[in-house]
Amino acid sequence: MATSLSGKKVLITGASSGIGAAIAQTLAEQGCLVWGTTRDLAKVATFPEPLRQKVKFLAMDVNDDHSVRTGVDRFMAEAGGIDILINNAGFGVFGPLEEFPLAKVKEIFETNYFGALRLIQAVAPVMREQGAGLIINITSLAARFVIPFQVHYSATKSALSALTEGLRQELRPFGVKVVAVEPGDIKTNFNNVTQFGLKEASPYKKWTEPSWRVIDVNMEKSPSPQVVADQVLKIAGQKNPRPYYVAGDFLSTKFPFIARFVSQRFKEKLTRIFYGIDFK
C-alpha cells in the first residue's frame, strides 16, 4: 500500500553527488522536505542548480561524533522532526588484503559502517519516541558477491547489512522500519575517488590490473544513479517495505536469486572468470 510522501522530513548523508544527489532530488520532487549532508558547505554553490533549489544542505562529517551530533541537532531544529533517514555516505578501496594499509581499512569502516551507526544512534531515539520512521541503509551487492581486491569495501557493506537486519528487529516494536538497498554497478564518480593500496612491485599485479579494467568498464556501462533513487522512492511510499531491495541493471537484480541455486565454490569461480582473474 502506497503512502503520501508530501511533507515527509528526510535526512540523507552524502547527498552532494552520485547516488545521494539523485535520491535527494527525486524525493524532493515528490514533495518531501529534504536535507542533505556535505562535509564542506562552501562547495554547495558548485552543485547543480536543481539540487541546490530543491535540497537544503547542512555541514556534517559522518566520521566525527561532534559533527554528527551538531548536524542532527541543526536538522531537528529546522525540520522539527524526522520521518526518513538515508545512510548513503561512503567510498571504495582497491588492493590486496596483504598489502592494504591497516589505517586505510579503519578509515573505510569509519565512514561506511560507523558513519551510518552514528546517524542511527542520533536519530533512532526520536523515531522510537514518535512511534514511526524509516531508516534506509545504502549497502551494496558487493556485500553478497565479494569482489577480489575490493574485500574491505565488501566487508563494510556486509557489516552494514548485518546492522540493518538486527536493527530492523530491534526497532520493529516501536513502529520504525529499517531497509537495506543494495546497488550493483552504478555510473557515478565512485571509481575516481576509490583509494588504492597496491605496492609497485606487488606479486598480485598480474591479477589486480585486469580486475580493475573490468571494474572500470562495467562502471561506464552501468545505469545511472536514478535507478537507485527510483527504488528508494518506491520504498519510501510503502507502508511495510521488505528487508532488502536490489537496484541496478537486469543482471544485478537477478544475482541474489541466482545465488540461491549455485554452490559457494561455483559462485567464486564465476566471479574470477567475470573479473578476468582465474589465476591461470
pLDDT at position 274, please?
85
| Per-residue pLDDT tens over the stretch 25-42 | 999 999 999 999 999 999
pLDDT at position 165, please?
97
Q: Which amino acid is at 226?
A: Q
pLDDT at position 37, please?
97
* DSSP SS3 for 14: coil
275 is a domain residue: no
Asked if 212 and 196 count as a contact pair (C-beta separation under 8 A), the reply is: no
Asked if 82 and 123 count as a contact pair (C-beta separation under 8 A), the reply is: yes
**Annotated catalytic residue within 153, 204, 245, 275:** 153
191 is a domain residue: yes
Range of the domain at 147: 9-205+224-257
1 is a domain residue: no
233 is a domain residue: yes
Residue 180 belongs to domain with CATH number: 3.40.50.720
pLDDT at position 253, please?
82
pLDDT at position 263, please?
92
Spell out, as residue ranges, where the chain has pLDDT lower than 50.
1
pLDDT at position 280, please?
61
29 is a domain residue: yes
pLDDT at position 2, please?
62
- 153: nearest Cα among 100, 210, 82: 100
pLDDT at position 198, please?
87
pLDDT at position 33, please?
98
> What is the Cα gyration radius of the chain?
19
Q: Is the dihedral of CA 188, 193, 197, 199 positive or negative?
A: positive
* DSSP SS3 for 85: strand
* DSSP SS3 for 99: coil
129 is a domain residue: yes
Q: pTM to 2 decimals?
A: 0.94
270 is a domain residue: no
| Per-residue pLDDT tens over the stretch 60-106 | 999 999 999 999 999 999 999 999 999 999 999 999 999 999 999 99
Q: Which amino acid is at 39?
A: R
70 is a domain residue: yes
Long-range contacts of 201-206 (CB under 8 A, 24+ apart): 202/96, 202/99, 204/96, 204/98, 204/99, 204/149
In total, how many domains does the chain have?
Answer: 1
- Whether 153 sits among the annotated catalytic residues: the reply is yes
